[in-house]
Structure 1
Amino acid sequence: MNVRQNGAARTRRILVGVNLAAAAVLASQLMVVAPANAVPGLVRVQTTGPANSDWKTTNAECPAGTTVLGGGGRINAASGQVVMDTMLPFVDGSAYSVTGREDDNGFAANWSITTTALCAPAPAGLETETMFSPDNSTDKSVTLPCTPGKKALGAGGELSGGLGQVVLEELRPDADLSSVTVTGAEDANGHTGNWRITAKAICVTPPAGLVRAAGPFGLLDSTSVKTNTATCPSGKRVHGVGGEIEGGAGQVRMTGVLATSSTSVTVTGMEDENGFSGNWGVRAYAVCA
């Protein structure tokens, strides 16, 4: 456990006797054919829950015959005073779940959660890995590897015991997709109680052309709201979602981490109601195939 504190090219066999001109025509035809989904039957499901001022959970359920490969969520109309402290796949793979909690100052207005799930019939080698951090009152991070030879499509994280006073700063598929990283940080008021991270990685036998796309990381500054979008390379679709806040010191919340289309992921960061004088940035990640 690593816990810190604070397509594939396709071989074409040409039979002996086929002339070179015919082979060239065949190659040209293969290049213009649109690629199939790396994971067949991939669909994106989106659900928006009720608007009120209570802590709440909204689940996006996968269609029958499919399982969740990844997901994310967005807090609607909360002005930076609601923390998404849970973004997790269901244990049985039937849905993706997002929970929001108001911070320790509360928030009088109504707000809601939009949750997305990326679903498909179970791909080869599907397994979900789980890791827990220590249970204490220290900022912490967990890096969870997939089984050797497998790659991460989706990620999940939960801040158990954070009670709206701990911010999810990273929910990130790592660069080579062999692991995911989940990081939590206490907010500006701190948190006297113990809390821990539950990290999830949805891992598969890597499909053809699997890559991680990252949004362009702009200059760090103190703009109160920032949005960043990661877009899949041409011909690829989003299979998993991730995001991170850099330099937020617990005073910046990810208020949106979700696939906004079949080819892009958008992440929004927002300073808390007291603002933040430091420089910070936000970045989106899309797992594409």
Structure 2
Amino acid sequence: MTSTSATDSSAAKTVVLYCPTGTVSIGGGAYLTGALGQATIRQITPTTVLGRNALVVIGAEDSDGYSGTWHVTATNVCIPIPAGFRYVRVTASDPSLVWATAECAGQRIIGSGYTVSPTAKAMATGIEIDVRNRAYLSVEPSNVPGAVTPITGTVTAVCADSGLPGMVQTSASTPQDSSNPQTVTVTCPAGTQIIHIGGDLWRVRGHSVIDDFRIIQPDKVAVTGYEDELGNPDVWATEAYATCAT
């Protein structure tokens, strides 16, 4: 399911997408239109809202704001309730760098979500379906003046008693250079479709932000990094991760 917020100049925008009865959210994607590099996706979290399962997405401007109009579009991935379904959440705080992981002990990870504090940036988020069996989140403070520290990040692992059929991960990255923006797409293997999207900024990434975790098609995702308003003359790159299942 996909929905879009209002298009205006408000500093933060929230989209809540409810799952159909009998299904639960295992995560989803989101992307911004407008305010590119001057707003971030502060939250993509599967949760319960007023007794109903949903995905909550928040886009927010950086610490010195943005005068133009923009909006956030979100996509929720819902599946029939699997055996042993639960959310495991871990929160961490630090003045300069947060690394948080949430493990599905005794179970399998099938999705994830995250939330970061105001003026913080999610620099990497995703799931590892190998022996690490966990969700992860890397958070840094905005380098735009007025950013607040310490920063906080909460990562959510979506756990179940067994993995989804045919689960597999694939990834791709942009070249390491100083171009702006940097977009990379990943397509699922034949016969599978997207169940989770993750992404990462790396190398000299301090003045870059992820504006798009976009589910383009049932079997394709794109992750886009933009330089912030101060610019990033250094070498950096964007990486996208697709978790797929039959």
Which residue pairs with 2:185 in the alignment? 229
Q: TM-score scaled to structure 1, two decimals?
A: 0.78
1:133 aligned counterpart, secondary structure: strand
Alignment partner of 1:123 is 2:82: yes
Q: 1:138 aligns with which of 96, 111, 116?
A: 96
The superposition leaves residues 51-106 of structure 1 with CA deviations (integer Å, 9 ceiling, x where unpaired) of: 11111111222122211122121111112100211111123662111111111221
Q: 1:178 aligns with which of 133, 145, 167?
A: 133
- Of structures 1 and 2, the larger Rg is shown by 1
2:44 aligned counterpart, secondary structure: strand
Which residue pairs with 1:22 in the alignment? none
Please state which structure has a larger fraction of its residues in helix: 1
- Contact 1:137–1:192 (CA under 8 A) maintained in structure 2: no
Which residue pairs with 1:252 in the alignment? 208
The superposition leaves residues 185-226 of structure 1 with CA deviations (integer Å, 9 ceiling, x where unpaired) of: 112246343221111011221123211121x22321111101
Task: After superposing the two structures, state which structure 1 stretch, 76-85 or 56-65, moved more.
Answer: 56-65
Which residue pairs with 1:270 in the alignment? 226
> Distance in 1 between the 2:114 and 2:33 partners?
20
Which residue pairs with 1:66 in the alignment? 23
Residues 218 and 194 of structure 1: CA distance in aligned 2, closer, same or farther (over 3 Å): closer
Alignment partner of 1:288 is 2:244: yes
- Contact 1:155–1:242 (CA under 8 A) maintained in structure 2: no
Which residue pairs with 2:66 in the alignment? 107
- Contact 2:182–2:226 (CA under 8 A) maintained in structure 1: yes
Q: 1:219 aligns with which of 153, 164, 175?
A: 175
Stretches of structure 2 lacking an aligned partner (at least 5 in a row): none
Please state which structure has a larger fraction of its residues in strand: 2
Alignment partner of 1:158 is 2:115: yes
Which residue pairs with 2:54 in the alignment? 95
Residues 158 and 248 of structure 1: CA distance in aligned 2, closer, same or farther (over 3 Å): farther
Which residue pairs with 1:193 in the alignment? 149
Give the aligned CA root-mean-square deviation in angstroms: 1.7
> Distance in 2 between the 1:155 and 1:277 partners?
32
Which residue pairs with 1:78 in the alignment? 35
The superposition leaves residues 206-260 of structure 1 with CA deviations (integer Å, 9 ceiling, x where unpaired) of: 123211121x223211111011112111101111121111124331111111321
Q: TM-score scaled to structure 2, two decimals?
A: 0.91
What percentage of residue pairs aligned between the two structures are identical? 27
Q: Which amino acid aligns with 2:99?
A: S
The superposition leaves residues 138-184 of structure 1 with CA deviations (integer Å, 9 ceiling, x where unpaired) of: 21111221122x32222111112xx22x2110111125171111010
Aligned residues: 239
Stretches of structure 1 lacking an aligned partner (at least 5 in a row): 1-44
